[in-house]
Chains A and B, each alone.
Chain A
Amino acid sequence: GENVEQHPSTLSVQEGDSAVIKCTYSDSASNYFPWYKQELGKGPQLIIDIRSNVGEKKDQRIAVTLNKTAKHFSLHITETQPEDSAVYFCAASYSTLTFGKGTMLLVSP
């Protein structure tokens, strides 16, 4: 089955800095790669996703890149704000989603 590794497990940045979270996957058949943001005590919220026919996608301060050859994808957040503090999960899917273990992002004012 699919295996998704996510790094780092925690990331602390200053407000205004950029944050990068990286994931690798094992199943070359996976073709859908979403990113979720989870605030404490709440369900995960989809923030951006990318499909295998695209190398990069951007939505305001958030961007995702995908390297299918190397089987890795990354989340980039620019101009971080305190409200970006949360746990972020990557996932990969061919038939069902397999999630990484999450990255706790802390943005200090």
Chain B
Amino acid sequence: SQTIHQWPATLVQPVGSPLSLECTVEGTSNPNLYWYRQAAGRGLQLLFYSVGIGQISSEVPQNLSASRPQDRQFILSSKKLLLSDSGFYLCAWSVILGDEQFFGPGTRLTVL
């Protein structure tokens, strides 16, 4: 069966520090991968998605970037965090782009 992992589970970072969140999927090959951000009391905002290694599509211009160095690994990064980057970051995968998606447990990021 397929499993999706995210780490760390929680992170507290100062403004201006770098960020690296990691997501890995097990039990499937060539998944479509997604990064979402969820602000408190709001829905899920799609940040990036990837259909293959090295292929990244950005949905919202921002302070963040994404990379996919391996088939089942998706990384969310920032060079300098802003207060507004705080939120709950979710990784997801799907077999077909835009179809049935399965979410990871999320990373709670607090920028102080």
Closest A-B pairs by Cβ, 5 of them: A43-B103, A101-B43, A93-B98, A99-B43, A99-B44
Q: What's the least CB distance linking B92 to chain A, in Å?
A: 8
Could you list 28 A-B pairs, sorted by A, with CB under 8 Å? A6-B43, A32-B100, A34-B100, A34-B101, A41-B108, A42-B105, A43-B92, A43-B104, A43-B105, A43-B106, A44-B90, A44-B103, A45-B103, A89-B44, A93-B98, A93-B99, A95-B97, A95-B98, A96-B49, A96-B59, A96-B97, A96-B98, A97-B46, A97-B101, A98-B46, A99-B43, A101-B43, A102-B42
| Interface size, chain B (Cβ < 8 Å) | 20
Q: Is the interface of A mostly helix, strand, loop or mixed?
A: strand
A94 and B98 contacting across the interface, CB-CB below 8 Å: yes
What number of A-B contacts does a CB cutoff of 8 Å give?
A: 49
A96 and B46 contacting across the interface, CB-CB below 8 Å: yes
Most buried by B among A41, A97, A98: A97
Most buried by A among B42, B43, B90, B104: B43
A108 to B46, CA, bound (A): 33
Taking CB atoms, residues of chain A closer than 8 Å to B99 are: 32, 93
